Amino acid sequence: MSSSAIFAAQQNVAIYGLSTLLVLGNFGNLFTIIILTRTTKQKVNSCSLYLLAASVSNWIVINTALVSNIVGVHHIDPQNTSNVICKLRWSGVHSLLMLSRSFSKLISETLIFTS
């Protein structure tokens, strides 16, 4: 395989694969947010609040990280030209991912210690 064929395959995977993840991730997170906002209006549960917060943080990560990667395939990505944008995006995405993991940890601890 030549390097141009590998580059074209990489671009196609980035465009179509990440676009699929973007659509499915948005659908799943928004569906979870809708369900949990209805549930928390009726009965407040700490686990559902943690899961709602994790869904919101994952939704923000999906719409910032994946969209910039998809746009960066054909256009100049601002994070490649500016150190400030690169560092802000990197720290923002990773802190939101860590926040989502922390909420998952809190859910499991709540279920363990309350039962």
pLDDT in tens, 8-56: 888 888 888 888 999 999 999 999 999 999 887 788 888 888 999 999 9
79 pLDDT higher than 80 = no
| Tokens encoding 35 | 């369900």
Give me the pLDDT at residue 14, please: 82
User: Contact, 25 vs 62, CB < 8 A?
Assistant: yes
Give me the pLDDT at residue 8, please: 85
Q: CA nearest 28: which of 65, 4, 61?
A: 61
Helical H runs in the chain? Answer: 3-12, 18-42, 46-61, 67-74, 78-81, 83-114
Give me the pLDDT at residue 1, please: 66
Spatial CB neighbours of 39, under 8 Å, sequence gap ≥ 6: 45, 48
pTM: 0.81
Q: CA nearest 60: which of 105, 109, 98?
A: 98
